[in-house]
Amino acid sequence: MAEIALETHGLTMRFGGVVAADRVDFRLQARELRCLIGPNGAGKSTFFKCITGLQSPSEGEVWMRGIETTGWMPHQVASLGVGIKTQTPNVLDSLSVHENVWLAARRFHGAREADRKTREVIDLLDLGAIAKDGLGRLAHGERQRVELGLVAAGDPWLILLDEPAAGLGAEDVERLTGIIRELNRQATLVIVEHDMQFIRSIAETVTVFHQGKVLMEGHVDRVMSDPVVRNVYLGRKA
Amino acid sequence: MDLYVVVLVEVLYGVASLILISAGLSIVFGMIKVINLAHGEFMMIGGYATITAVNLGMNVFVAMLVIAPAVVGLVGLVVERLVIRHLYGRLVDTMLATWGLSLFFIGLATMIFGNTTTGISTPIPGFAIGDYQVNGYNFFIIVVAALLLVAMLSVLKGTRAGLVARGTMQGPDMAAALGYSPDRIYMATFFCGSALSGLAGAILAPLVGLVPTSGGAYIAKAFITVIAGGPSLVAGLLSSASLFGVVHQAFTFATSPVIGEVALLVAAVVLLRILPQGVTGTFFKGKT
Amino acid sequence: MPGGLTRDAVTIALVTGVLIWVLPLIVGTYTLTVLAIYGMLGLSLGLIWGFGGILCFGQAAFFGLGAYAYAIFAINIGESTVPMILAVLVPAVFAALLGAMMFYGRLGDVYLGVITLVVTLILYKVVNSTAGPQYVIGNARLGGFNGIPGFPTLNVPGTPDAYIWGDRYFHVCAVLLGLVYMLVTALLRSSFGRIAVGIRENETRMSLMGYDVRARKTAMFAIGAGIAGLAGGLFANWAEIVTPSLFSLGQSAEIIIWCIVGGLGTRLGPVLGAAGLAYLKFLLGQQAVIDNALVTGLVLVLFVLFLPKGVVPALSDLWSAGIGRIRPGRIGRRRQPRRRGWPNG
């Protein structure tokens, strides 16, 4: 049996009277790539934040590679070897691309090894031409790509991405698809995403969230043709 | 029994003076998210305005309740137009600029009035409760603070201006949506806040010997009362002033005035550490 | 990298040497001594604010703690070496505790400002109220608002009778400033410094990379306090008395003004800002027409409004524009730190 990379038991998150995530049981094999989908407010982002430590769940447990990480801080989760990209771009604006990636690499490597790793990541993500530019001056697509570089620089075995394709043009999305495939050779991935076309191009298995619960889990084609899922997405009529 | 009454009066006085000290700052911070570190100097100017007016032969209550707020309101207006206006939305920069203004006003007051203590006598005589002598002026301060809170609440809840004010607290877009220029509202708010600072400085002036650096004694207290109160204007002011006022007076009675001040400040640090959202941000969400 | 650091160290040593030789020809060494001390104090806040992104309204607290620690231990011990070390350690430990309380509580910028300001005020009030014979630490009377006079001043380590004063004391202070400057340079070139700048830029991102932001900010805060404490100890020796006014808000404001005027995010800016403004204040102090506070206040307002990044970055921008090429900036150098929209603010 393959190793379990990520697992939650009864994960629940309440904000006042609102239950944003409701007893979510989730399980992911190592090297799997899973997309989380669902309409706005379905709870997938809350679920994501509870896993990454950005929020602490009200109830339930989170396990990563057999270690319980419930209620950990983001830096503790990241230190396990988990790469995280949040929904809003989080980069170091007044530093250069090289500095950004170097700082990410330095967390897991000595200074000299971090230099080498930085060059490697910059090559991998094709950032060489802009390596010396400050992040504040880059276009949105480039910033997204740099942030993926920050994730990749830590050699993570588990990667959590919140809407990586948001706001990207067709060309950038294509590039992103390639990068994600590349990352998936080493790591398990969880991707929260809206863009169905993009999801079809990268994922086989998707998990559908609805009203804080897991509505369905299965192959992307089967899920998308399911009448219940179509109902959730398109409203009551379909 | 008499002792309890005296203690109660003292505690109420402690709370009331904190409300007075903080009201101007809290309006400015609550509405337009500006922390005016020159607030203490605004109060100092209010004090000097009162004393100058009284020395020129004016009735002391007119000087305190009319002249001082008007003078300081105008000073605030000038400051807003020249400095604050350019820094909206930059909290740290406004703090730094107003800290500069605070030094500027201290210097100006030193040049005009000299570095000596001036003062006026309290216009209300004291009286006795049983064996204890009570300062009659303390009652005046309690009444003014209570009236001030009632006035703030009724303006906010009951008038068109209050509606606009509450809209502005949600964000400048809201004010614009209500059909008012945010620029004008900001200006008006800063004027009102400054006038209240001037009023507070004037009313407290008879109790302290006034020097150009008097403002420094107020700013920290006002600052922590407002921040600890949290986003809700009147409830925040009342709750944090009550808390700090009680702590202050309790420790002052038990030990010494200095320890009382220190206890107040320590309480503020502890409170902010426990409730970073302030009292009202934690307990009464979404009220004004 | 190590080559660059050696070059920096040589440059700093040379510049310090030349200044120690040239400046006394223009200004008296007694004044220069306090300018060097203020330079060090400015650098302490410049480090934690400009590079660490920590807005501290109470840097004077650490300065005062250093001065008082020196005075109290010097009276009790009777020589200056151990007290000088304690002048660094006491504020650093105090800052580590205070910083841990603030940063582990994830307090935002404004709250940091409030708490550091209030703590300074508490120290001021407490020390101010210690007039009377009952307030003693060992043999040292705290003396309330009168302060502590008459403690042993700096001596050659190991030889308590060989006092260092006058020109030689100026040399000691100037060399120490040079050494602290080198230390700060090395720190900023190290991984620790580069990570600190990363935290200044975006705390969330750095914690998602796996860095413990709380611990690192606490460490940075303590280092800055240690440097301020050293400046305080040196100041105590220069003034030969310590008084509560060292803890005053006015003192804190001045340190902030030095940094703003000189330029945040540079090492040189706060040092020059401190020395320049302190000298201006010294000159103003010799006339009675314009009040000192008025000028300092006006300077702060005008800089926030018209030159918020400070003199040194503005000049270096002009310089690079004049040369017509922009070198790829090293981390944190010639880059304006963001003073608005702070992370966690």
Q: What is the pLDDT of residues C185-210, one digit of tens each?
A: 999 999 999 999 999 999 999 999 99
Residue B154 φ then ψ, to 5°? -75, -35
> What type of residue is B206?
P
**Domains of chain A in sequence order:** 1-70+192-238 (3.40.50.300)
**Series of mean pLDDT values for 10-residue runs along chain A (238 residues):** 85 89 93 90 90 93 94 94 91 94 95 94 91 90 92 94 89 90 93 87 90 91 87 61
- Chain B residue whose CA is closest to C130: B258
Any CB–CB contact under 8 A between C113 and chain B? Answer: yes
B-chain residues near C106 (CB < 8 A): 276
Give partners of B (≥3 CB pairs < 8 A): C
C-chain residues near A93 (CB < 8 A): 201-202, 338
CA distance B138 to B5: 13
Any CB–CB contact under 8 A between C118 and chain B? Answer: yes
pLDDT at B283: 61
Q: Are C280 and C295 in contact (CB under 8 A)?
A: yes
A-chain residues near C197 (CB < 8 A): 95
Nearest CB to C339: which of B92, B104, B266? Answer: B92
Helix (H) or strand (E) holding B254: helix B233-254
pLDDT at C39: 97
Mean local confidence (pLDDT), B29-46: 91
Contacts of A228 (CB under 8 A, 6+ apart): A215, A216
pLDDT digits (tens, 9 = 90+) for B156-171: 888 888 888 877 777 7
C-chain residues near A78 (CB < 8 A): 207-210
Mean local confidence (pLDDT), C299-310: 93
pLDDT at C342: 34
Mean local confidence (pLDDT), C142-170: 92
pLDDT digits (tens, 9 = 90+) for A119-133: 999 998 989 999 999
> What type of residue is B118?
T
- List C163's β-bridge partners, or say none: C155
Nearest CB to A90: which of C1, C202, C331? Answer: C202
Residues of chain A whose beta carbon is less than 8 angstroms from a beta carbon of chain C are 52, 73-75, 78-79, 84-86, 90-96, 99, 102-104, 106-108, 111, 132, 134, 150, 154
Nearest CB to A84: which of C208, C213, C328? Answer: C208
Contacts of C195 (CB under 8 A, 6+ apart): A103, A106, C206, C211, C216
Where residue C291 falls among pLDDT bands split at 50, 70, 90?
Answer: confident
CA distance C65 to A14: 46
pLDDT beyond 60 at B134: yes
Mean local confidence (pLDDT), C224-229: 98
CA distance A203 to A192: 11
pLDDT digits (tens, 9 = 90+) for A63-79: 999 999 999 999 999 99
Minimal C-alpha gap between C207 and chain A (Å): 5
Where residue C325 falls among pLDDT bands split at 50, 70, 90?
Answer: low
Contacts of C155 (CB under 8 A, 6+ apart): C79, C80, C81, C161, C162, C163, C164
- List A68's β-bridge partners, or say none: A63
Nearest CB to A111: which of C191, C213, C337? Answer: C191
CA distance C117 to B275: 18
Helix (H) or strand (E) holding A222: helix A220-225
Asked if A90 and C208 come within 8 Å (Cβ–Cβ), the reply is yes
Where residue C343 falls among pLDDT bands split at 50, 70, 90?
Answer: very low
CA distance A202 to A179: 10
Helix (H) or strand (E) holding A170: helix A170-184
- List A208's β-bridge partners, or say none: A37, A216
Minimal C-alpha gap between A237 and chain C (Å): 41
Q: In chain C, where does DSSP find H-type helix?
A: 2-22, 29-45, 59-77, 81-103, 109-128, 166-189, 191-201, 203-208, 213-239, 249-262, 268-284, 292-306, 311-323
Q: Are A81 and A155 in contact (CB under 8 A)?
A: yes
Minimal C-alpha gap between A92 and chain C (Å): 5
Would you call B252 helix, strand, or coil by DSSP? Answer: helix
* Buried-state track C187-205, b at ≥16 Cβ within 10 A, e below 16: bbbeeebbbbbbbbbbbbb
Whole-prediction pTM: 0.90
Asked if B256 and C129 come within 8 Å (Cβ–Cβ), the reply is yes
pLDDT at C156: 92
pLDDT beyond 80 at B196: yes
Q: Are B68 and B50 in contact (CB under 8 A)?
A: yes
Instruction: Name which of B35, B80, B92 to mutate to probe chain C: the one with the most chain C Cβ atoms within 10 A of its Cβ.
Output: B92
C-chain residues near A69 (CB < 8 A): none
**ipTM of the predicted structure?**
0.91
- State how far the alpha carbon of B28 is from the alpha carbons of B34, B105, B153, B220, C115, in Å: 6, 19, 15, 16, 20
Mean local confidence (pLDDT), C37-46: 97
- State how far the alpha carbon of C336 is from the alpha carbons of A89, B90, C12, C103, C313, in Å: 21, 16, 23, 24, 7
Instruction: Name which of C104, C191, C208, C331 to mutate to probe chain A: the one with the most chain A Cβ atoms within 10 A of its Cβ.
Output: C208
> What type of residue is C288?
A
Asked if A95 and C197 come within 8 Å (Cβ–Cβ), the reply is yes
Mean local confidence (pLDDT), B28-55: 92
**Top-confidence range, A139-143, B154-158, C214-218, C323-327:** C214-218
Instruction: Tell me which residue has tokens 């509405």.
Output: B31
Asked if C328 and A96 come within 8 Å (Cβ–Cβ), the reply is yes
C-chain residues near B266 (CB < 8 A): 122
pLDDT at C182: 97
Asked if C195 and A106 come within 8 Å (Cβ–Cβ), the reply is yes
Any CB–CB contact under 8 A between C150 and chain B? Answer: no
Any CB–CB contact under 8 A between C105 and chain B? Answer: yes
Minimal C-alpha gap between A25 and chain C (Å): 24
Any CB–CB contact under 8 A between C249 and chain B? Answer: yes
Contact pairs from chain A to chain C, CB under 8 Å: 74
Mean local confidence (pLDDT), C68-76: 97
